[in-house]
């Protein structure tokens, strides 16, 4: 019962957040909505017993990514809708009717295809008995350190690379005189 409630709640928050991200015209708000959506996803993880995943979701997204985005938003536009030297807004608008139109058409085409597939998938899916939810952390750790050790190591290099790369890219440089 509790699980079902949690699931419903999480699904609502997730989808609601996602939709809000779509329609929100304020970047800052959109970001907060995204946060909500991510929280929802964490809940959805929890519902299927993915406790570690849910925790990671919260820590990394809520604690890391979204905060980073908020910083970026604040760094890139505090001064309102000024026009820059190239004739465009400094902080771009959140879209207009034309873009929404194109986006809608694309989404519809895409949805049609996906829904068609999903129907097939769900039809073929046998009703299985759900395994009981058990703590996954220990098993995950074992799998990570044995079967997926290569991917694990590579991801560590990736993170390192991203760290250095981000630092190098965003560092302001002096204009070269040549």
Partner 1 sequence: MINLGSYLAISFALFVCGILVMIARKNIIAMLLGIELILNASALNFAAYTKFTNNNLDGHIVSLFIIVIAAAEAAVGLGIVIRFFQLRESIHIDDAATLQN
Partner 2 sequence: MDYTLSTVAPIVLIPFFAFVLNAFIVKKFTKLAVAISTGAIFVSFLFALRIFMDFMNVYSVGYYIHKTFTWFDLSAGSHVFKVNMGIYIDNMTAVMLLMVTGAATLIHVFSTWYMHDDPRFGRFFVYLSLFTSAMLGLVLSDNLLSVFIFWELMGFCSYSLIGFYYEKEGAGNASMKAFMTTRVGDVFFLLGILALWSVVGNVTFVDIYKAIGAGAFNNLYALGIPLATFAGVSVFLGTMGKSAQVPLQVWLPDAMWGPTPCSALIHAATMVAAGVYLSLRMYPLMELGHMLPFIAVIGGITAFGAATIALVQTDIKAVLAYSTISQLGYMVIGIGVGSYNASFMHLITHAVFKACLFLSAGSVIHSIHCQEMPQMGGLRKKLPYTFFAMLLCCFAIAGVPFFSGFVSKDRILGDALVLALTNANHIYKLVALLGFGGAFLTAFYMFRMLFLTFFGEPRDHHIYDHAHDEHLGWNSNVPLLILSLFTLGLFYSGSFTGQGEVNLFGSKNEWFSTLIHKPDATSLHHFSEYKAEEFGSVDTRDKVQLTPAVYDENHGMSEHVAHEIHQIHHIGAILSIIIAFCGIFLAYSMYIKKSVNPGWWTSTFANWTKALKNKYYFDDLYVGKIIQKGLLPFNDLLSRFDMGFFDKYAIDGWASVNRWAFTISKWFDNTIIDSGMVDGTGASVRMMNVVLRTVQSGKIQMYFIVIVVVLAGYVWTLSF
Which residues are near partner 2 by CB under 8 A?
99, 102, 106, 109-110, 112-114, 116-117, 120
By CB under 8 A, is residue 113 in contact with partner 1? no
Among 107, 116, 120, 153, binds partner 1 (CB under 8 A): 107
Binding pattern to partner 1, positions 11-30, x when CB under 8 A?
A: x--xx--xx-xx----x--x
Task: Report the alpha-carbon distance of residue 72 to residue 9 in Å, rounded.
Answer: 30
Contacts of 78 (CB under 8 A, 6+ apart): none
* Residue with token string 């004739």: 87
Backbone angles phi, psi at 90, to 5 degrees: -65, -50
Task: Report the alpha-carbon distance of residue 14 to residue 37 in Å, rounded.
Answer: 4
Binding pattern to partner 1, positions 64-93, x when CB under 8 A?
A: xx--xx-xxx-xxx------xxx-xxxxxx
Tell whether the torsion through CA atoms of 122, 125, 131 and 137 is positive or negative. Answer: negative
By CB under 8 A, is residue 145 in contact with partner 1? no
* Tokens of residue 10, six digits: 């999480």
By CB under 8 A, is residue 58 in contact with partner 1? no
Minimum Å gap between C-beta 139 and partner 1 is 6
Among 2, 80, 122, 174, binds partner 1 (CB under 8 A): 122
109 binds, among partner 1, partner 2, none (CB under 5 to 8 A by kind): partner 2
CA distances from 108 to 38, 103, 104 (A): 24, 8, 6
């Amino acid at each position: 019962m509790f699980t079902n409630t949690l699931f419903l709640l999480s699904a609502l928050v997730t989808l609601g957040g996602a939709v809000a991200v779509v329609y929100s015209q304020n970047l800052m708000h959109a970001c907060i909505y995204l946060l909500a959506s991510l929280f929802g996803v964490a809940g959805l993880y929890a519902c299927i017993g993915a406790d570690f995943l849910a925790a990671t979701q919260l820590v990394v997204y809520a604690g890391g990514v979204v905060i980073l985005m908020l910083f970026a938003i604040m760094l890139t536009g505090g001064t309102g809708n000024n026009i820059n030297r190239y004739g465009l807004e400094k902080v771009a608008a959140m879209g207009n009717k034309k873009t929404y139109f194109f986006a809608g058409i694309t989404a519809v085409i895409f949805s049609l295809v996906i829904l068609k597939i999903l129907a097939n998938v769900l039809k073929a899916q046998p009703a299985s008995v759900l395994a009981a939810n058990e703590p996954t952390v220990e098993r995950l750790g074992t799998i990570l350190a044995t079967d997926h050790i290569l991917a694990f190591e590579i991801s560590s290099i990736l993170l390192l690379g991203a760290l250095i790369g981000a630092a190098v890219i965003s560092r302001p440089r002096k204009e070269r005189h040549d």
